[in-house]
A and B are shown apart, each in its own frame.
Chain A
Amino acid sequence: MKAHRKKKLSIILFIAVGLSTAIGLSLYALSNNIDLFFTPTQVAAGEVTPGQRIRVGGMVKEGSVEHNQDELEVSFVATDYSHDVQVFYSGILPDLFREGQGIVAEGMLSPEGVFRASRVLAKHDENYMSSEVRSALESAGVDVDAMPAGAY
């Protein structure tokens, strides 16, 4: 009986130590790998540290998409209808990337205030607006629910 107890105890200790190490490591990894989300208004207000990996969400401003004709480079303006952020990206834009559509760009802000995206996300259901873009627009005072369905 005693040997059993001892074995049980050692197994429980083993599990406890394993679990707490794992949780500790998870939290440590988590603290290093979260990307904060900013709205164009926050970017304009200078809340972003240049060089930090962040996400910016907004609508692609009508008429702002410029394809460089000689290079892969694309630039567009992400807006929450009160402030704009100029985004540069060299890569293939997602299928649902369109003017007037909500997108989330992942990347870094340069010290000059230009956002260089490493990834651009658009939803594959055009009736669906990402909660990030929605809250960006709402915090800028846009009545999201009043917008026509096709607009986001």
Chain B
Amino acid sequence: MIPELGNFSLILAFSLSILLGVFPMIGASRQNQLWMGLARPLTAGVFVFLSISLAILAYSFVTDDFSVQFVANHSNSMLPLRYKLTAVWGGHEGSFLFWTWMLGGWMLAVAIFSKSMPTEFVARVLSIMGLICVGYTLFMLATSNPFDRALPLSPADGADLNAALQDFAFIVHPPSLYMGYVGFSVVFAFAIAALISGRLDAAWARWCRPWANAAWAILTLGLSLGSWWAYYELGWGGWWAWDPVENPPLITWLLGAAMIHSLAATEKRGVFKSWTVLLAIMAFASSLLGTFITRSGLLTSVHAFASDPTRGVYILGFLGLIIGGSLLLYAIRAPILKSEFGFGGWSREVFLLANNLILVVASAAILLGTLYPMVYQAVTGGDLISVGPPYFNTIFLPLMGILVLLLGIGPVARWKKTSKAYLFKQLSKVAIAAVVVGVALPVMLTLGVPVTTIIVTVLACWILFSLLRDIQSKIANKPDVWSGLKSLPVSYWGMQLAHFGFVMIMTGGCLTSIYSVERSVLLSPGESAELGRYTFVFEGTEDVQGPNFIADEASIQVLRDGEYLRHLYPQKQLYTASNTPATHMGIDGRFFRDLFVTLGDARNQGAWSMTLYIKPFVRWVWIGSIFVAFGGILAVTDKRYRRFKVRQVQRAAPVTNTSAQPVVEG
């Protein structure tokens, strides 16, 4: 009975979102205050019913209601409570409900934090999000209802949650990834509302920016948590594999990064308007494409959900409708979005444009590599291929190199016009220092000339020094350093922090791929293996009993230069309900390097195969992404988004009229 209530509540959410998608939208175009006023209450209603649905699904997990098919497939009475709760998003149906609930959450947030925007605009934005919600809820009701029952033959116990998902990172990775992903639909709705109303001015950009930054920052966290999870749970010693399911969020992330930079130019200088809108559409479309790829099962990947062709067809149809519809709207309406056009060759606008170009090209190249196997198969009639990491590295790394080179100049350059002499004065010493330190450090540390490392360290120093130089010149005319630092706006700190984090990711990622070493060995108890400065002594295994698994736990003593460092305890687990093996890594994580041991299989006389890894700087990738995300969040909290809002609305009013004029004429 209870699960049926969940289903009923989902149907109610579906019906309310239809109302939300229709009435406020019509109301906005007819200036009907009553209908526009429906947007907020309807949004709240959609969110409430989605929440009830989600809560009931969670309740079914907690109470072990195995008559619900989804619960039976993804839970087990022995599963610890925290994993029962997270099993809600442990499979296709539940994760899609969770995803839709996230959309409801973003809609509610827009409804609450939009007091300063005109009613008409809010009505349109919420209405568009309501239409997206219609698509999602209909998808669930039609093809993947989490409340479907397995009656009358319901199983006595569940098949258990996938062993690789019984892990802390899995508790936090999908929520943050989904939240970031879904957040792009807010920006999409803003863009479409701007296209419909023909209003796209500095005020619009200012309303839009915090949402874009927030969604992007949260997506950053989600991506890096996913990478962290893959690193320590899947046990292949890597942190990024260019897997077809990892790629779409990265594409969305890159397009999102391009969009928040382009939005900055739109807000400050009124340029790149239609380009910003196009990026918002593309970022949202890429998030849908990611959904399609994960859930259609068309591509082979570690993430793929068990697939069902009707789902793929539905999502593809939805994707076509959204992209086709919004691009059509864009083609009709974009010409009225007149951009200002006045900036010199070395202005910040030009650097932002270059940033956008590089990011968009990078995402297009990744998209090409991801979809190529599908296209190739369709064209050649069945020949299967896969595109390997070398392709992605050849394209992505040089592009990021150029991006980082420009990243040193962009923030220093001024809006509209920068003299070359000024840039030279600001950056010549920075460039010299970067080259000197960047070459000296690796040469001194390795006593050789490692060319790739030198390129990485020079680029890293270049950004770091130019960042410090920029802060220094910004506070130069303040009485003392402290008051100078305090006078810099929060969003400026957000930007610098995010840039610093980005360079940290780049440096960590490059250095770890250059310097990681690994060795697979077969060790009997008492035997040891050397790797680099470290000796790993295998002391044998013992049986360990977990709540829903049994495991062999190896005890490995690690010595550095012959001195005792610590013990590592990797496990080989067997989840009893599903009879699935899983590996628990032994990791010693430090700021400058990780030691990583993964167990293989048991052989004669207690011998085990295992792989030992030393991974220098790998942690920088995740620490860097925390900086990036924190920088993005910091930018959202900037006071000016609140302080100027009221004034901006008043001032924007005449601007609206002028920019809307062509519509009236046309």
Query: Which A residues contact B (CB, under 8 angstroms)?
Result: 4, 7-8, 11, 15, 18-19, 22-23, 25-26, 29-30, 32-37, 53, 55, 67, 69-72, 90-96, 104, 121, 123-128, 130-132, 135, 139
Query: Which B residues contact A (CB, under 8 angstroms)?
Result: 162-164, 234-236, 297-300, 302, 304-307, 341-342, 353, 357, 361, 364-365, 368-369, 372-373, 376, 382-388, 390-391, 394-395, 399, 520-522, 578, 580-583, 598-601, 603-604, 607, 609-611
What is the CA–CA distance of A104 and B383 in the complex, to the nearest angstrom?
Answer: 15
Given A30-B372, A92-B600, A36-B522 contact (CB < 8 Å): no
**Quick check: A131 and B298 within 8 Å, CB to CB?**
yes
Given A22-B365, A69-B604, A124-B164, A55-B357 contact (CB < 8 Å): no
Looking at the complex, which one of A70, A72, A128 makes contact with B520 (CB distance below 8 Å)?
A72
The residue of chain A having its C-beta at the shortest distance from the C-beta of B164 within the complex is A124
Looking at the complex, which one of B305, B368, B609 makes contact with A30 (CB distance below 8 Å)?
B368
**Quick check: B520 and A92 within 8 Å, CB to CB?**
yes
**Quick check: B521 and A72 within 8 Å, CB to CB?**
yes
Closest chain A CB from B370 CB (angstroms):
11
Q: Name the prevailing secondary structure of the A interface residues.
A: mixed
> Which residues of B lie under 8 Å from residue A126 when comparing CB positions?
578, 580
**Quick check: B305 and A125 within 8 Å, CB to CB?**
yes
**Quick check: A93 and B361 within 8 Å, CB to CB?**
no
What is the CA–CA distance of A16 and B298 in the complex, to the nearest angstrom?
Answer: 33
Q: Shortest 6 CB-CB distances between A and B: which pairs?
A: A37-B384, A33-B391, A92-B600, A22-B361, A29-B394, A130-B300
Looking at the complex, which one of B304, B342, B353, B610 makes contact with A92 (CB distance below 8 Å)?
B610
**Quick check: A95 and B583 within 8 Å, CB to CB?**
yes
What is the number of contacts between chain A and chain B, taking CB atoms within 8 Å?
131
> Which residues of B lie under 8 Å from residue A32 when comparing CB positions?
390-391
**Quick check: A30 and B369 within 8 Å, CB to CB?**
yes
The residue of chain B having its C-beta at the shortest distance from the C-beta of A8 within the complex is B341
Given A34-B372, A55-B386, A92-B610, A124-B302 contact (CB < 8 Å): yes
What is the CA–CA distance of A96 and B582 in the complex, to the nearest angstrom?
Answer: 8
Closest chain B CB from A70 CB (angstroms):
7
> Which residues of B lie under 8 Å from residue A34 when comparing CB positions?
372-373, 376, 385-388, 391
> Which residues of A lie under 8 Å from residue B394 when comparing CB positions?
25, 29, 33
Looking at the complex, which one of B235, B305, B372, B611 makes contact with A128 (CB distance below 8 Å)?
B305
**Quick check: A67 and B601 within 8 Å, CB to CB?**
yes
What is the CA–CA distance of A104 and B633 in the complex, to the nearest angstrom?
Answer: 42
The residue of chain B having its C-beta at the shortest distance from the C-beta of A133 within the complex is B300
Q: List 16 A-B contacts (CB under 8 A).
A: A7-B341, A19-B357, A25-B394, A25-B395, A29-B390, A35-B386, A36-B384, A37-B383, A37-B384, A69-B603, A72-B522, A72-B600, A92-B609, A92-B611, A95-B582, A124-B234
**Quick check: B604 and A72 within 8 Å, CB to CB?**
no
